[in-house]
Structure 1
Amino acid sequence: MNSDSTPSRQAHDGLHKVTFGAGPLTIEQVVALARRRARPELNPDPAFTARIQRGADFLDRLLADEGVIYGVTTGYGDSVTRAVPPALVAELPLHLTRFHGCGLGENLSLEAGRAVLATRLCSLAQGVSGVSPALLARLCWLLEQDLVPRIPEEGSVGASGDLTPLSYVAAVLVGERELYRDGQLASTAEVYDALGITPLVLRPKEGLALMNGTSVMTALACLAYARTEYLMKLATRITALVSVAMGGNAFHFDERLFAAKPHPGMQGVAAWLRADLVAGELPRHSDRLQDRYSLRCAPHVIGVVADSLPWWRQLIENELNSANDNPLIDGEGEHVMHGGHFYGGHIAMAMDSMKTAVANLADLLDRQLAQLVDIKFNGGLPSNLSGASGERRMINHGFKAVQIGVSAWTAEALKLTMPASVFSRSTECHNQDKVSMGTIAARDALRVLTLTEQVGAACLLAAVQGVELRLAMGGSLAALSPALREMVLAVREHHPALVEDRPLEQELRALIVRLQGRHYPLYEEARDAS
Structure 2
Amino acid sequence: MTTPTHEPVTFGELPLRIEDVLALANRQVPTQLQGDSAYRERIAKGARFLDSLLDKEGVIYGVTTGYGDSCVVAVPLHHVEALPRHLYTFHGCGLGKLLDEQATRAVLAARLQSLCHGVSGVRVELLERLQAFLEHDILPLIPEEGSVGASGDLTPLSYVAATLSGEREVMFRGERRHAADVHRELGWQPLVLRPKEALALMNGTAVMTGLACLAFARADYLLQLATRITALNVVALQGNPEHFDERLFAAKPHPGQMQVAAWLRKDLAIDAPTAPLHRLQDRYSLRCAPHVLGVLADSLNWLRSFIEIELNSANDNPIIDAEAERVLHGGHFYGGHIAFAMDSLKNLVANVADLLDRQLALLVDERYNHGLPSNLSGASADRAMLNHGFKAVQIGTSAWTAEALKNTMPASVFSRSTECHNQDKVSMGTIAARDAIRVLELTEQVAAATLLAANQGVWLRSKAEDARPLPPALAAMHKELARDFPPVIEDRALEGELRLCLKRIAEQHWRLHA
CA contact (8 A) 1:236 1:269 kept: yes
Aligned twin of 1:455:
446
- What TM-score results when the alignment is normalised by the length of structure 2? 0.98
Aligned twin of 1:372:
363
Name the aligned partner's letter for residue 399 of structure 1: F
Q: Deviations over 1:323-378 (max 9, x none)?
A: 00000001111110000000000000000000000000000000000001000000
Name the aligned partner's letter for residue 347 of structure 1: I
Is the counterpart of residue 67 in structure 1 residue 58 in structure 2?
yes
Q: Deviations over 1:200-219 (max 9, x none)?
A: 01010000000000000000
Go from structure 1 to structure 2 and tell me whether the alpha carbon gap of 1:26 and 1:482 turns closer, same or farther (over 3 Å shift).
same
Q: 1:487 aligns with which of 459, 477, 485?
A: 477
Q: Deviations over 1:456-493 (max 9, x none)?
A: 000000000001111111356x7111111111111111
Q: 1:288 aligns with which of 279, 282, 288?
A: 279
Aligned twin of 2:495:
505
Is the counterpart of residue 355 in structure 1 residue 359 in structure 2?
no
| Aligned residue pairs, count | 514
Go from structure 1 to structure 2 and tell me whether the alpha carbon gap of 1:268 and 1:54 turns closer, same or farther (over 3 Å shift).
same
Unaligned runs of 5+ in 1: 1-6, 525-530
Q: 1:28 aligns with which of 11, 19, 23?
A: 19
Aligned twin of 2:330:
339
Distance 1:458 1:201 in 2: 51
Within-5 A mapping of 1:292-441: 292-441=283-432
Aligned twin of 1:153:
144
Aligned twin of 2:113:
122
Distance 1:346 1:240 in 2: 34
Distance 1:53 1:104 in 2: 36
Name the aligned partner's letter for residue 403 of structure 1: Q
Question: How far did 1:155 drift?
Answer: 0.1
Distance 1:497 1:465 in 2: 6
CA contact (8 A) 1:247 1:283 kept: no
CA contact (8 A) 2:242 2:273 kept: no
Unaligned runs of 5+ in 2: none
Distance 1:121 1:446 in 2: 22
Distance 1:421 1:348 in 2: 6
Aligned twin of 2:43:
52
Secondary structure at 1:179 match in 2: strand
Secondary structure at 1:310 match in 2: helix
Secondary structure at 1:93 match in 2: helix
- What TM-score results when the alignment is normalised by the length of structure 1? 0.95
Question: How far did 1:245 drift?
Answer: 0.3
CA contact (8 A) 1:249 1:280 kept: no
Q: 1:232 aligns with which of 223, 228, 232?
A: 223
CA contact (8 A) 1:381 1:466 kept: yes
Q: Deviations over 1:200-252 (max 9, x none)?
A: 01010000000000000000000000000000000000000000000000000
Is the counterpart of residue 260 in structure 1 residue 251 in structure 2?
yes
Q: Deviations over 1:353-412 (max 9, x none)?
A: 000000000000000000010000000000000011121111010000000000000000
Question: How far did 1:40 drift?
Answer: 1.1
CA contact (8 A) 2:241 2:274 kept: no
Aligned twin of 1:528:
none
Secondary structure at 2:96 match in 1: strand
Distance 2:277 2:496 in 1: 35
Q: 2:127 aligns with which of 102, 122, 136?
A: 136
Secondary structure at 1:279 match in 2: coil
Aligned twin of 1:162:
153
Secondary structure at 1:38 match in 2: coil
Secondary structure at 1:278 match in 2: coil
Is the counterpart of residue 177 in structure 1 residue 162 in structure 2?
no
Which moves more between the two structures, 37-46 or 445-454? 37-46
Go from structure 1 to structure 2 and tell me whether the alpha carbon gap of 1:133 and 1:475 turns closer, same or farther (over 3 Å shift).
farther
Q: 1:201 aligns with which of 192, 197, 220?
A: 192
Aligned twin of 1:110:
101
Distance 2:465 2:268 in 1: 17
Distance 1:223 1:74 in 2: 36
Distance 2:41 2:127 in 1: 13
CA contact (8 A) 1:286 1:379 kept: no
Question: How far did 1:122 drift?
Answer: 0.2
Name the aligned partner's letter for residue 486 of structure 2: P
Secondary structure at 2:171 match in 1: strand
Go from structure 1 to structure 2 and tell me whether the alpha carbon gap of 1:503 and 1:283 turns closer, same or farther (over 3 Å shift).
farther
Name the aligned partner's letter for residue 371 of structure 2: G
Name the aligned partner's letter for residue 487 of structure 2: A
Q: What RMSD in Å do the two structures reach over aligned CA positions?
A: 1.4
Question: How far did 1:15 drift?
Answer: 4.5
Identical residues among aligned pairs (%):
65
Aligned twin of 1:523:
513
Distance 1:176 1:301 in 2: 48
Name the aligned partner's letter for residue 494 of structure 2: L
Name the aligned partner's letter for residue 264 of structure 1: P
Name the aligned partner's letter for residue 490 of structure 1: E
Name the aligned partner's letter for residue 486 of structure 1: A
Name the aligned partner's letter for residue 103 of structure 2: A
Aligned twin of 1:4:
none
Structure 1 residue runs of 4+, over 4 Å off?
Answer: 280-286
Q: 1:278 aligns with which of 269, 272, 283?
A: 269
Question: How far did 1:497 drift?
Answer: 0.8
Distance 1:49 1:202 in 2: 18
